[in-house]
Structures are given as C-alpha cells and as structure tokens.
Structure 1
Amino acid sequence: MALPIISADQRLAEQRGVKGTIFGKSGIGKTSLLWTLDPATTLFIDLEAGDLAIEGWSGDSVRPRTWAECRDFAVFIGGPNPALRDDQVYSDAHYAAVCERFGDPAALDRYHTVFIDSITVAGRLCFQWCKGQPEAFSEKTGKPDVRGAYGLHGREMIAWLTHLQHTRAKCPSSDELRLFRGHGNGGSGSSGFEVRRPAGDAASVFGGWSGV
C-alpha cells in the first residue's frame, strides 16, 4: 500500500465549507440571519421552534426533538468517523443505521448551507438525555450524580460539535455549516427529521418522511 500523501494541488482542490458560530443576546437577530441565505440551497435545523422571526422564509427545515435525533442528523450530514468502533455514536454502524431509516444521504446534495438554531437548545436536549444515563448515577448509592451528568454532557456536546465541524462538502458547490447559538425556551414541533417544504411542493427528502 502506497503512502497516502495528499499533494498541495489535491488539498487545494478539495471542497470545503466555512463553519461559523454566531453569539448574541436574545432578540438581537441571530435567527433572522437566515434571510441572508438562499432558501433553495439552505436546510434549517429548527431546534428553537423560533421560526416566527423568519415566517415566510421559503426554505426547507427539520425539527429534531431529542438528543438522539440530533446525533443521528449529525452523522447523516457528516458521514461516519472511521476511527470509531461500531458500538459508538458517529461510527460506520451508526451511519448505516441512520441511512436505513432516513434514506439516501444524496438527498442532502441540494443544500449548500446547514443553519442550526441553536446550540443552546441542543445543549438542553443533551443534558436531559445525560441525566438518564448510567454515568449520571453514583455507583455506590445509585442516587443521581450531577457531576457525572455534567461530565457526560460536556463530552457529548464536544463530540457532536466536532463531528459537525469535520463535515466535508456535500454539494457540487462550496458548502457551509453554520452553527447559530441562541437563547430560547426550548424546541418544539413535529417529531423526527421531517423536511418542511413550501406550500405546493410535497416532495420527500428523507425516505419515509414526507414534506408538509
């Protein structure tokens, strides 16, 4: 096997995107930045259920309701991490299972930008999940261990954001993964990863999920 050296020309020819995070106080207009993006090539990950600020925006959106769904969508758009074991999240096995449920990931090829609103709500969903895991309970007493829950919370959030950060191009043109942080009251909306399209366009993006 030849040494897998990547030449400068190959590296420069790679499609890569910009990953950015916007921070600001509530109501300053973070979600409204969605108006600056092309709705035809932008997928809105609506964790906040705060789409009143962008009512009338004609792009597609998905509304994850649980931390498991957040992780599933991260591996769906970012692909698997070959360094992980099959029993780990973001592994080849996780990716294969998600693709079996959601369908062909090529359905995402139309999107140049993934707009996530917000990391704050993703953190709340993550912590709620962490509080129910074995690490969140004392091995000696069986009682809740807040330190264990927060430790797991930190590891989970870092793993999620790192996986999104490593997402390579999914479209013919340059991709962007924009992570927007907000301060809201928590996500709401339909369950699962349901693509919401403008009225009159009922095409399904993910297998098993129809646009509404």
Structure 2
Amino acid sequence: MRIRVALVDDQALFRAGIRMLVSSQPDLEFVGEAADGEAAIALAADARPDVMLMDIRMPGKDGITATAEINARSNPPRILVLTTFDLDESAARAIRAGASGFVLKDAEPEFLLAAIRTVHAGNAVIAASATLRLFEEFRPAEAPALEPEEFAALTPREREIFLLAARGLSNAEIAAREFLSEATVKTHISRILSKLALRDRVQLVVFAFEHRLVD
C-alpha cells in the first residue's frame, strides 16, 4: 500500500517540483496540494494523506496554525514541516503544534523522500544535534526542575529509555547501550508515549525539555 502524500506551499514552482519527485516513487502517491493554511486544513480532510509536507510562512493562515488545527481533528496525517533555516524558531513552534519533524527546503531529494518514509513509520527525522539545539531555545530559563505527575507512571527501565530517547539516541543505540533487543526498545518507547500521551519521539523531546528532564 502506497504512502499518500500531500503538499502545502505558496510557491507554485516548488509545488510542481515536489509533485514530480513524489510521483516518481513507486511506494508514494501524490494526493493533492494547497497554497495556504486554510486550504491545507480542507485538503487534510478531503484527501486523507498519510504525510503532509507543510510550509511555515504562507499568506493568510500560516503553517503553524494549520498544523495545530489539523492535529486537533481525528486521525490527522503526519506533518513534516518545510523550513528555510535549520534553527528556525517557527519550526520548533510547529513541532509543538503537532508536527512530526522538519526538513530544509533545499534538502537533497533523496533526503526528503527518506524523511517522508521515516515520518510515515512513526519516527522523527530531526538529527539528534539539531533537536537539542532547536529545543534548547524553548527550555524554561529560570523555572526549577519539577517532575511531572505523568512521569511518575513510568517504570525505572522506561525512565532510563525515555532519557536516552530524549537525548536523541536511536532505538539501535539504546538497545546496544541497555543490552536489549531493538524490538524490546520499540515496545518500551510505545508504552512511554502512551503513558505520557505523546504522539511521537519529537514530542517526547519537547516534553523532556519543557520539564527540564534532560540537560
């Protein structure tokens, strides 16, 4: 079954290029495009994409607002933010609104295609170093570290894995470090996300930084 992909961007030439790129892949299906946030919301409801590529800066309703509204509805697509700068503050705001990651608009075509597939699989596409730099800007500056109530629901092992994932380690890296199988780590991550009511690993990182659980 092919991955259904939609695109939101106000530049017609850019949309045409992405449409051709996605359509060239046997495992991807391009199901629609929009030029602003308002049209994006309608597109998400009508086309039911699995992954939506979302520009941030558009006339009218921007990509951040559209991302939040789309994620407030049932069965939203995975949203992959398109940004010009790798430390764009707006990209972090979009992730906090429910996006699953971000890619640069000038990324190599192969990287964008891999990002689409990665996000569809439920993973993030932000490199660990970029994640840490990005969310460091949103860490509460003076607030004391207070362990959230939800965190108390995690077992000691789940806490260990949470902290490693929050620092950007992959499932394979966590498995090697904790002497576990990747399947076991994946199960732990799923339980952690469920207990903390988080959608994916990107939101896990946001949660960790907002509550000052990692340095």
- What is the TM-score normalised by the length of structure 1? 0.26
Tell me: higher relative CO, structure 1 or 2? Use CA pairs within 8 A at least 6 residues apart: 1
- What is the TM-score normalised by the length of structure 2? 0.25
**In proportion to residue count, which structure has more helix?**
2
